[in-house]
Amino acid sequence: MIAFIDEHREVYGVEPICKLLPIAPSTYYTHAGRRADPGKLPARAKSDAALVVEIRRVFEENYCVYGVRKVWRQLGREGISVARCTVARLMRTMGLQGAVRGKPVRTTISGRIAPCPLDRVNRQFRVLRPNALWVSDFTYVATWAGFVYVAFVIDAFARRIVGWRVSRSAHAGFVLDALEQALHERRPIRGGLVHHSDRGVQLGFKWSSQHLCAPPAALCQRPRRAFSSPGFCVAGH
């Protein structure tokens, strides 16, 4: 927004542009003054500017493999007192990330050519009653024994998890188990619930995430070893 005003101020003026944009002229002039005189920057901005230099130095001196924790500890050993959350925030802003051991874990496997149910939610996740809209996904969590996958179903009304399951592998069964738990606990009225998930391509997950219906016969067999993605598409029944 500031850059837009800089680009067009000579033609239209600052105040007329600010009338159309959600920004006050004083805010723009404050930013312009700070750019012209860095001494006018707030204390946090000055501290961040100095820390960015030190963080990049430590990161590059250690072959660009240090993550937030190691960069933060190295700064502490050098007598630079800074909060770990500040290091994390600045490294994220700078686009710096430490090396990760092991093979990356993928939970999303997409496919554009695979058929996809219609989106009956259209990004409208506010509902007026419980059991009107459930949203679901699954992710992975690192433990001492390795990665585990966690599937969950959330009621959009209360923002509460109503069903969940944990598995050592990403198979279709444990995701369907999370939905079955939610259905058993909540007993939603048939035809009154929309179950929404993102797009996926694996087996049972693309059955009907957007509406209530009876499951196809193929899903009743519940294949236990089919690979899955966050786009598991199943509906309440």
Give dist(CA 188, CA 236) in Å, integer.
8
Give dist(CA 93, CA 79) in Å, integer.
23
Give dist(CA 20, CA 23) in Å, integer.
8
pLDDT of 1 above 90: no
pLDDT of 237 above 60: no
Q: Which parts of the chain fold into alpha helices (H)?
A: 2-12, 14-20, 25-36, 43-61, 68-77, 84-94, 172-186, 217-220
- Per-residue pLDDT, averaged over 23-28, amounts to 90
pLDDT of 176 above 50: yes
The candidate with the shortest Cα–Cα distance to 69, out of 55, 49, 48, 51, is 55
Give dist(CA 73, CA 62) in Å, integer.
13
User: Among 2-11, 112-121, 169-178, where is mean pLDDT lowest?
Assistant: 112-121
pLDDT band at 215 (very low <50, low <70, confident <90, very high): very low
84 Cα distance to chain centroid: 21
- Bin 187: left if φ > 0, else alpha if -120 < ψ < 50, else beta: left
- Per-residue pLDDT, averaged over 45-72, amounts to 95
The count of other CB atoms within 10 Å of the CB of residue 131 is 21
User: Among 2-6, 67-71, 78-82, where is mean pLDDT lowest?
Assistant: 2-6
The count of other CB atoms within 10 Å of the CB of residue 227 is 14
Higher-pLDDT residue of 22, 69: 69
- The interaxial angle of helices 2-12 and 25-36, nearest 10 deg, is 100
Give residue 188's pLDDT. Answer: 83
Question: What percentage of the chain has pLDDT greater than the value 70?
Answer: 75
Q: Are strands 194-196 and 133-143 parallel, antiparallel or unpaired?
A: parallel
Give dist(CA 159, CA 130) in Å, integer.
10
The chain-wide mean pLDDT, for the chain, equals: 78
For the CA atoms of 224, 230, 233, 234, the dihedral, rounded to the nearest 10 degrees, stands at 60
For 123-136, what is each residue's pLDDT tens digit? 778 888 888 888 88
Give dist(CA 186, CA 221) in Å, integer.
24
The candidate with the shortest Cα–Cα distance to 175, out of 149, 144, 154, is 149
Give residue 123's pLDDT. Answer: 76
Give residue 129's pLDDT. Answer: 86
Give residue 128's pLDDT. Answer: 84
